[in-house]
């Protein structure tokens, strides 16, 4: 069994190491490396150390947990202060991109929908044809709708301040669109078939595969006699309509607090290379899915002995990335018309 005093000692040692590394970081990229090294959710040194928390005696855990939260808060504040240092801010204007006001006027841009918006609308249209209704919900949520009603206790890692953007006490920026499912079930009796697109917010890295804010889309079906077979058939049909008739789909066992059983959904599809050759891709993860946990149904007043349901969730930015074979998710959100104009699109 791990000793609490040694765990606290290691936390203090990591705090000192990280503060020294933060102070020595001479560029934003170096600062990000330090953040991931110490506060990364999966492999950060602090996160790895806290995995031993469960081996402590029950009475020692609150004190060690409080110290861990203090250390993470100190490091997060130090990172933010260092990021705002003048020497790390960089020049305000890139002289190569600055406008030349002496040039003659050009034809105004013709507006078009953003590539990710087009994906959202296309996905919603596919599910509309399958009998689903598009619904929306607030982006500022309560802990009840974002976590508790979805069978996620407030001491779950997903509810930690290092992962969730909290506002006032008990209020937060939603970290997924699943709260819309709860609100929909509270206001309607089964049968229910809805899709809920919208912005979600997390304390994620800004890197080629993650952004702190992104468009997510979730689906929900609740009725008598709904099974996992219905879920697989629906998502297989969606994959064929969105990616192409030759698309294959597979389910891998996974875990989500609000579904049981749960699965990660992968697709394998055919892409056409510039030379016209047809190439089969590797398996690519596109969404999570599963049967709605009976506890979630009980939280909205449904009888889990009578009703069953399934749900799925996908990042539409990732779908756009796969659709256009773009290597970096950040390109979609940097408002660079040189990039966006290459992806075409209909008029706004």
pLDDT digits (tens, 9 = 90+) for 281-299: 788 889 999 999 999 999 9
Give CA separation, 319 vs 141, 240, 329, in Å.
26, 13, 10
What's the confidence (pLDDT) of residue 156? 63
Mean pLDDT for the stretch of residues 86-96 = 60
A 10 A CB-CB count for 74 gives 13
DSSP string of 140-192? EEEHHHHTGGGT--TTSGGGSTTTS-B-STTEEE-SSSHHHHHHHHHH-PSPE
CB burial of 213-246 (b: ≥16 within 10 Å; e: otherwise) equals: ebbbbbbbbbeeebeeebbbebbbebbbbbbeee
Whole-prediction pTM: 0.67
Phi and psi at 287, nearest 5°, equal -165, 170
* pLDDT band of 56, cuts 50, 70, 90: confident
Mean pLDDT for the stretch of residues 2-7 = 74
With beta carbons less than 8 A apart as the criterion, state whether 256 and 288 touch. Answer: yes
**Lowest-confidence pick of 44-48, 163-167, 311-315:** 44-48
CA atoms of 160 and 175, how far apart (whole Å): 11
DSSP string of 23-77? HH--SHHHHHHHHHHHH-TTT-HHHHHHGGGGGS-GGGHHHHHHHHHHHHHHHHH
pLDDT at 15 over 50: yes
CA atoms of 203 and 69, how far apart (whole Å): 16
Angle formed by the axes of helices 228-243 and 115-129, to 10°? 130
CA atoms of 171 and 112, how far apart (whole Å): 35
A 10 A CB-CB count for 38 gives 23
pLDDT at 94 over 60: no
- Cis geometry, peptide bond prior to residue 261 (ω within 30 degrees of 0): yes
What's the confidence (pLDDT) of residue 158? 58
Out of 38-42, 268-272, 321-325, give the one with best mean pLDDT.
321-325
* pLDDT band of 93, cuts 50, 70, 90: very low
Task: Measure CA 23 to chain center.
Answer: 30
pLDDT digits (tens, 9 = 90+) for 62-73: 887 788 888 888
Delineate the domains of the chain, giving CATH numbers in brackets.
Answer: 4-86 (no CATH), 115-343 (3.30.930.10)
With beta carbons less than 8 A apart as the criterion, state whether 285 and 265 touch. Answer: yes
Nearest Cα to Cα of residue 262 among 117, 151, 160, 173 = 151
pLDDT at 324 over 90: no
What's the confidence (pLDDT) of residue 162? 54
CA atoms of 234 and 245, how far apart (whole Å): 14
Mean pLDDT for the stretch of residues 89-112 = 68
DSSP string of 12-35? HHHHHHHHHHHHH--SHHHHHHHH
Mean pLDDT for the stretch of residues 19-40 = 85
């Amino acid at each position: 069994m791990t000793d609490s005093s040694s765990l606290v000692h290691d936390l203090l040692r990591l705090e000192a190491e990280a503060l020294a590394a933060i102070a020595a970081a001479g560029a934003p990229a170096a600062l990000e490396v330090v953040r991931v090294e110490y506060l990364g959710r999966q492999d950060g040194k602090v996160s790895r150390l806290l995995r031993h928390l469960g081996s402590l005696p029950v009475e020692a855990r609150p004190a060690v947990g409080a110290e861990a939260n203090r250390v993470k808060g100190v490091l997060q504040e130090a990172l933010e202060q260092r990021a705002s240092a003048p020497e790390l801010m960089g020049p305000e204007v890139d002289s190569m991109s600055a406008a030349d006001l002496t040039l003659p006027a050009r034809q105004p841009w013709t507006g078009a929908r953003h590539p990710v918006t087009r994906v959202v609308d296309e996905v919603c249209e596919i599910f509309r044809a399958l009998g689903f209704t598009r619904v929306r919900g607030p982006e500022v949520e309560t802990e009840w709708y974002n976590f508790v009603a979805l069978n996620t206790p407030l001491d779950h890692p997903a509810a930690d301040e290092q992962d969730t953007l909290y506002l006032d006490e008990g209020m937060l920026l939603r970290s997924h669109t699943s709260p819309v499912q709860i609100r929909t079930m509270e206001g309607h009796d089964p049968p229910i078939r809805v899709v809920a697109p919208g912005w979600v917010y997390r304390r994620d890295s800004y890197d080629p595969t993650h952004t702190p804010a992104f468009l997510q889309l979730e689906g929900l079906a609740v009725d008598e006699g709904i099974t996992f077979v219905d879920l697989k058939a629906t998502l297989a049909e969606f994959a064929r309509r969105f990616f192409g008739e030759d698309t294959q789909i597979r389910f891998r066992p996974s875990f989500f607090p609000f579904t049981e059983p749960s699965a990660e959904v992968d697709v394998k599809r055919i892409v056409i290379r510039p030379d016209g050759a047809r190439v089969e891709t590797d398996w690519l993860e596109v969404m999570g899915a599963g049967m709605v946990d009976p506890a979630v149904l009980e939280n909205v007043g449904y009888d889990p002995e009578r009703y069953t349901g399934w749900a799925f969730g996908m990042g539409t930015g990732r779908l756009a990335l796969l659709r256009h074979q773009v290597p970096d998710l950040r390109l979609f959100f940097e408002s660079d018309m040189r990039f966006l104009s290459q992806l075409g699109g209909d008029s706004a």
